[in-house]
Amino acid sequence: MSGNIKSKRSYSPKLNRKAWTFVLPGLALIILFVFYPMIQAFITSFQTGAGNQLTFNGLVNYKRLFNDLTFRKALTNTLLYLVIQVPIMIILALAISSMLNTKGLKAKGFFRTAIFLPCVTSLVAYSIIFKSLFATDGFVNALLMNLNIISEPIAWITHPVWAKVLIIIAITWRWTGYNMIFYLAGLQGIDDSIYEAAEIDGAGAWQKFKSITVPMLKPIILFTTINSTIGTLQLFDETMNITQGGPANATITISQYIYNILFKYSPDFGYAAAVSYVVVVLIVILSMIQMKVGDKND
């Protein structure tokens, strides 16, 4: 797409200066409010001690990570959520938004609003309702048993594996509509006449989706993928509110572990910072891979 912008250009000094003025306000705010604290946090990650009793201690925190079984658990859980949940959600959101973009479909406004509603539903309300729907004697088990899909009720919240499944269902439920918005917006940039031309050539719905929608939306798909990756690696709300990381840390995420180290246990700011930087490194690597894949044959 838009091949010309990829080519290298040179700008007149005046235009170049103007270009920087567009970037500058945003950049300045990010440097001050994100990079400055980031550096501070990095320094803290070499300190140990409770509360404000911090002293420099070299790599002790980073070494501690290797023997920390809870950290290992949080890391594997988080990566598991990432690998399973992000693709499901991205595909679902893409499918829904391209359906909502087809001509002649009725009640689009209703469907759009309905599918967006999970974003508005309060976290408090939805964690209560999820817990009651997925209780052992709850609605979901009753439904599955009536449909003869299962013969024994599933312990959604208290079984270590099913609890993870529940978390994945919950995140998908809450964030699919959110990603849908980005796609709906992006789809408006695709000219109708392209679809019309394809239809004349006899292209079916799947073909149009595969050879027009997906390639045209590539920048947005890249955006949502990276964004969801970051969101999942920093996942906190769902596990905190639905399972509290339980049963027995089976659903705990890295972000929740950081929160616990900071506030639930005796506050250990140095160790929390060290754990955070592991997350940063992970996200950087994953995003770089995604960018590489996303930029290919562009």
Partner 1 sequence: MKLKRLAAVLLAGTMLFGATATVSAEEKAADEITIWAWDEAFNIKAANVAKEMYAETNPDVEVNVVTMAQDDIVAKLNTSLASGSYEGLPDIVLIEDYRIQGYLNAYPDEFAVLSDIASPDEFAEYKTGVNQVDGKMYGIPFDSGVAAVFYRTDYIEEAGYTAEDMQDLTWDKYIEIGQAVQEKTGKYMLTLDPSDLGQIRMMLQSAGAWYTDAEGNVTIKDNQALKDAINTYKKIVDSGISKQVADWDQFVGAFNSGEVASVPTGCWISPSVLGAEDQSGKWAVAPFPRMAENEASVNASSIGGAGWYVLKNVGHEDAAKAFLKDTFASNVDLMNQLAVDINLVSTLKASSEAENYNKGVEFYGGQEIFKDFAEWTNEVPAVNYGEDTYAIEDIMTEVVQAIVGGADVDETLEMYQTQIEGAVAN
Partner 2 sequence: MTKKVLRTFQYIFLSICAFVSIFPFFWMIIAATNKSVDVTKGTLMPGSYFMENLKAVLSSDLQYTTAFKNSLIISVVTTILAMIVSSAAGYAFVIYRSKSRERVFNIILLSMMVPFAALMVPLFRLFSKFNSVPLLKTIALNTPGAVIVIGISTAFLIFFFRQNTESFPKELIEAARIDGVGELGIFFKIFMPTMKSTYAAAIIVTFMNSWNNYLWPLIALQSPERRTLPLVISAMGSSYTPDYGMMMTAVVLATVPTALIFFLMQKQFVAGMTGSVKG
Binding status of residue 237 toward partner 1 by CB under 8 A: no
Q: Residue 41: name its binding partner from partner 1, partner 2, none (Cβ under 5 to 8 Å by kind).
A: partner 2
Coil, strand or helix at 187: helix
Residues 107, 115: contact at Cβ < 8 Å?
no
Question: Which residue, 86 or 171, is less far from partner 1 as judged by CB?
Answer: 171
Longest dimension (CA), the chain: 73
Binding status of residue 76 toward partner 1 by CB under 8 A: no
Binding status of residue 202 toward partner 1 by CB under 8 A: no
Residue 26 CB-half CA count within 13 A: 5
Which pair of tokens denotes residue 143?
A: 């439904």
Among 84, 158, 187, 287, interactor with partner 1 by CB under 8 A:
158
Binding status of residue 153 toward partner 1 by CB under 8 A: no
Nearest Cα residue to 221 out of 85, 82, 79, 93: 93
- Integer Cα distance of 46 and 222 in angstroms: 34
Binding status of residue 78 toward partner 1 by CB under 8 A: no
Q: How far is the CB of 105 from partner 2 (least distance, A)?
A: 7
Residues 256, 74: contact at Cβ < 8 Å?
yes
- Integer Cα distance of 78 and 235 in angstroms: 8
Q: Residue 40: name its binding partner from partner 2, partner 1, none (Cβ under 5 to 8 Å by kind).
A: partner 2
**85 Cβ contact partners less than 8 Å away, ≥ 6 residues apart:** 168, 171, 172, 232
Q: Residue 114: name its binding partner from partner 2, partner 1, none (Cβ under 5 to 8 Å by kind).
A: partner 2
Q: Residue 65: name its binding partner from partner 1, partner 2, none (Cβ under 5 to 8 Å by kind).
A: none
Q: How far is the CB of 248 from partner 2 (least distance, A)?
A: 23
Q: How far is the CB of 161 from partner 2 (least distance, A)?
A: 22
- Between vectors from CA 4 to CA 12 and to CA 90, what angle results, nearest 5°? 120
Nearest Cα residue to 130 out of 230, 254, 237: 237
- How many angstroms separate the Cα of 169 from the Cα of each of 11, 140, 165, 166? 49, 12, 6, 5
Site for partner 1 in 17-46 (CB under 8 A): 21, 24-25
Site for partner 1 in 99-128 (CB under 8 A): 128
Residue 202 CB-half CA count within 13 A: 0
Among 79, 84, 95, 155, interactor with partner 1 by CB under 8 A:
155
Question: Which residue, 87 or 160, is less far from partner 2 as judged by CB?
Answer: 87
Q: How far is the CB of 127 from partner 1 (least distance, A)?
A: 8
Among 92, 118, 182, 247, interactor with partner 1 by CB under 8 A:
247
Residues 249, 264: contact at Cβ < 8 Å?
no
Site for partner 1 in 255-294 (CB under 8 A): 260, 262-269
Q: Residue 266: name its binding partner from partner 1, partner 2, none (Cβ under 5 to 8 Å by kind).
A: partner 1
Binding site for partner 1 (CB under 8 A): 21, 24-25, 48-53, 64, 67-70, 128, 131-132, 135-136, 155, 157-158, 243-249, 260, 262-269
